[in-house]
Each structure stands twice: as structure tokens, then as C-alpha cells.
Amino acid sequence: MNEATRSKGLPLHPLLRAEIEARRSRPPYRVLGVTEVRRLFREGQTAGTPGPAIASVAETFVAGAAGRLRARLYRPQTDVAPLIVYFHGGGFTIGDLDTHDRNARDLAHATGAALLSVDYRLAPEHPFPAAFDDTVAAIRAVAADAAPFGGDAARLFLAGDSAGATLALAAALALRGSDTRIAGIVTYYPGVDFSHVASPSYEAFGDGSFGLSRDDTDWFRTLYAPDPADRLDWRCSPALAADHSGLPPTLIVVAAYDVLRDDDLAFAARLKKAGVEVTLRLVEGVNHGFMGAPNPPPAVAETLAFVRDWFVKVASPADSRR
């Protein structure tokens, strides 16, 4: 890891604090129910600051495990470019192409890569392992024929935030040693271990004062993996895989005020021990989901600049990286 992990204790940014206060005036997720939480999340995300203009944005489809999945292709340039397959967050239960449109635009704009955002199946209608299966199927389909997406299959990246980051990591583990080659992975605050909701960061931020709470996390994992035994499966909890070696270069962005923070820091250390080229970015003064905050704090642009620099290095031809 080449990024300091010690917290500097910066306060939560006021833009993020205002969003938390607005949410705390509503009942908890498990009281509101899935339909209402989806509505409120979509309403809040789509009313926020729009993402950057992209040369071409097109609705499309990609193969999933049980049929075609909706997808959205962002192409910042017309030339063949590295291709990112992106998976949105939302606890495997909420979120879609529209709620994460700005996330996708930001990442495509920052990296200059073509980006395919995939609308995988959600729980509770489709519990584990449906989302994982869709993720693997979509990646395999894109790797087999990247031309329609304007991407270079030799420079195929995975990316995601929160639950989408979990799916990207689990898929990368599943695809090791296969014909599907992954050049790198970009993850924002992934959930890596759903076997528990306990750690120092869960204790510090679990009451919801900083956004995502212990109760929220438990609600999401219960809907996604209602059978507790499934939460021990590495496809659900990538940190629990017996072996993490063989993963491509991996960037993990961690929020300082996140219940998942300590799990993510421990996971990054585990990857490093396994010989993975892992880069850790601990972002101060922000909470879980900050990269998609409706009113983004300055840390978003700063993090995107860091992602851009990492991506340019990893996506360069092998001979230029020596």
C-alpha cells in the first residue's frame, strides 16, 4: 500500500453533513421498506449536481446470467480506448443506471476510458448469488467482444462503488486463471465481509450519525443474503476467500467516516500480503457514498484526480510501465 492510512481527524464536510441530517429526519430503512427506500434514493440522487458532459452516451444491453441486462455506454472519445465495466452501489437492493449516472460520467471523464454501466438484478426479488452471477456473465460477454462498446479487450477494467465494488472484487476472484483477463480494478468503499457488522469503525459510526449505519448494513445484507451461511461465501464476502493472490492491480478508495472503513483497510492489507499490487486511498472528512453525493464535496474531484493518475499508469502498455 502506498497511501497513508492514519486518520487526520478532519470533520465531516458540511455538504455531507446536511444530507445526513435530512435523512435522519426519516424513519430507518427497514421501517420504510424496499419500495420507498428505492424511491427516496432515486429522487435524491437524480436531483443532485449533474456529471460532466460525455461525447457519447447510449442505452444498450449486455448478457446477464438469466437474460439481457440493461446497460449504459459512456464514450468520452471515438477512438478505441480502455474499457471499464462499472457496477453501481446500493446494498444490492437499491440503485440503478440513473442513480449512478454521475458516478459513471465522472469516472469515464477522469480516465478517458469507455465505460459500460451494468444494471444487474437486485434483491430481495433476486437474492444472492443473482447479482454476482450477472456480474460475471456481463464481464465475460464484454471480454469476448468489446468492439461494440468501443473498448480494447486487452485493457479491460472493473469498477464499482459500495455493493458494486464488492461485485467487481468477487468477479475478479472468480475469473482468475480464465480466458477473461482483467487489467485492473477501481473500487470505492467496498463491502468485503458480510459475516458481521462489528469492528471499531462500526462501533464509531454505526449509530448513523455519519450516514450508513450498522442497522442499514444489516438490513441490506439480510435482503441480499437471507441465509446466514451465504454470508460466509467468498462470492458474497470477498475478504473470506481462502486465497487472494492473482488479482490484478487494485485501487481501494476508503472513506474515513464509514462503518466499512476498518474492513476495507484490513482487506487492503490482506491483498498486499497475497502479493497483489494494491493502492489504498483513505479520504478524510467524508462518509460512505461520498463519490456519488448529490452535492459533491471537493474531495470528489481530488479523488478523481488520484484515480486518473493511477488509471493512466496501470492502463499504459506494459513496456511503458517498466
The stretches of the chain forming alpha helices (DSSP H) are 14-24, 29-32, 34-46, 101-111, 130-144, 163-175, 200-205, 214-224, 261-273, 298-315
Catalytic residue among 117, 162, 199, 213: 162
**pLDDT at position 107, please?**
98
**pLDDT at position 25, please?**
83
Provide the CB-side half-sphere exposure for 158 (13 A, CA): 30
**pLDDT at position 152, please?**
92
Backbone torsions φ then ψ of 256, nearest 5 degrees: -65, -35
Annotated catalytic residue 288 = yes
Write down the pTM of the prediction.
Answer: 0.95
For residue 128, give the nearest of 1, 235, 48 by alpha carbon. Answer: 235
Which residues, other chains included, contact 307 with Cβ-Cβ below 8 Å and sequence gap of 6+?
A: 107, 110, 111, 186, 251, 253
In order, the DSSP letters of 8-35 are --PPPPHHHHHHHHHHHTSPPHHHH-HH
Annotated catalytic residue 179 = no
For residue 261, give the nearest of 231, 281, 235 by alpha carbon. Answer: 281
**pLDDT at position 317, please?**
64
Backbone torsions φ then ψ of 270, nearest 5 degrees: -65, -40
Sign of the CA dihedral running 121, 97, 78, 171:
negative
The C-alpha cell of 301 is what? 474531484
Spell out the per-residue pLDDT of the chain, length 322, in tens.
333 334 457 899 999 998 898 888 889 999 999 999 999 999 999 998 899 999 999 999 999 999 999 999 999 988 888 999 999 999 999 999 999 999 999 999 999 999 999 999 999 999 999 999 999 999 999 999 999 999 999 999 999 999 999 999 999 999 999 999 999 999 999 999 999 988 999 999 999 999 999 999 999 999 999 999 999 999 999 999 999 999 999 999 999 999 999 999 999 999 999 999 999 999 999 999 999 999 999 999 999 999 999 999 999 865 444 3
**pLDDT at position 72, please?**
98
Contact present, 313 and 285 (Cβ < 8 Å): no
Annotated catalytic residue 215 = no
Which residues, other chains included, contact 204 with Cβ-Cβ below 8 Å and sequence gap of 6+?
A: none
Cis peptide before 200 (omega within 30 of 0): no
Catalytic residue among 101, 152, 258, 264: 258
Residue 25 burial class via C-beta count within 10 angstroms: exposed 0-12, middle 13-18, buried 19 and up: exposed
**pLDDT at position 3, please?**
39
Catalytic residue among 13, 100, 244, 288: 288
Integer-rounded Cα Rg, in Å, for the chain is: 18
